A = this chain, B = another copy of it.
Amino acid sequence: MSKTDQSTEEKIKDAAKKIFLEKGFGSTTTRDIAECADTNIALVNYYFRSKERLFQEVFKESFGETFLPVARILNDDLPLEAKIYKFVDHMTELLKRDPLLPMFVLSEMRGEHSKVCDMMTAIHQQEVNRFQQQLEEEAAKGNIRKTDFSQVEISLMSMVIFPFISMNMLKMKKNLTTEEFYQLMDERKKAIPEMILTYLRHK
């Protein structure tokens, strides 16, 4: 289906996603969204009842259907090294397509009692952590060092996601174009697993 014969509802949701990701919930107005979707405010409320509900739909789709599936690679049934490379690669590709996603998700979680926290607790309750378990097993077999694997996982996530959160800062500091920034991120696909694996293997 081409961009032009999208249904009005889809056009609105796409516009909302674009603007919410750019500016966050608080700084986004229904007027912005309506204009960006080439319609009017009335239709936004007709299809989604309120800005709040529209937001929740966008958030659920962005986080639950886009980000989480990639994060779950860490729970896959794969050898350690392959898993780390696959995770970094897939997450980087996801974030290159949607570089504003992590900032969006995390900034909407500011404040302990934000709109999205309930959604989060619901999600996290049904999640397991196969990755740390796998690291424990490898350590028991003597393949990698014994250490706090909780810290390792945090570091892994940090190294992959943070550069996209600080994208503008980085681009400014190093005078990068968007293209050059993405190239730098591509290079991290090798650099990150290398650092993690070197650390783990050097007992």
Q: Which range contains the number of A residues in contact with the other chain?
A: 35 or more
Surface stretch bound by B, among A2-10, A44-52, A101-109, A135-143: A101-109
Interface residues of chain A: helix, strand, loop or mixed (majority): helix
* A116 vs chain B, min Cβ distance (A): 10
- Inter-chain contact A110/B120, CB cutoff 8 Å: no
| B residues in contact with A148, CB < 8 Å | 187, 191
| B residues in contact with A117, CB < 8 Å | 168, 172
- Inter-chain contact A155/B106, CB cutoff 8 Å: no
| B residues in contact with A195, CB < 8 Å | 152, 155, 195-196, 199
| B residues in contact with A121, CB < 8 Å | 172
| B residues in contact with A79, CB < 8 Å | none
Question: Is the CB of A154 closer than 8 A to any CB of chain B?
Answer: yes
Question: Is the CB of A100 closer than 8 A to any CB of chain B?
Answer: yes
Q: A169-B120, A199-B199 are in contact. Are A107 and B107 (CB under 8 A)?
A: yes
- Inter-chain contact B24/A124, CB cutoff 8 Å: no
Question: Is the CB of A15 closer than 8 A to any CB of chain B?
Answer: no
Surface stretch bound by B, among A54-62, A90-98, A156-164: A156-164
- Inter-chain contact A111/B154, CB cutoff 8 Å: no
| B residues in contact with A152, CB < 8 Å | 195
| B residues in contact with A161, CB < 8 Å | 158, 162, 166
8 contacts between A and B (CB under 8 A): A24-B107, A109-B169, A117-B172, A148-B191, A151-B184, A152-B195, A155-B159, A158-B162
| B residues in contact with A199, CB < 8 Å | 194-195, 198-199
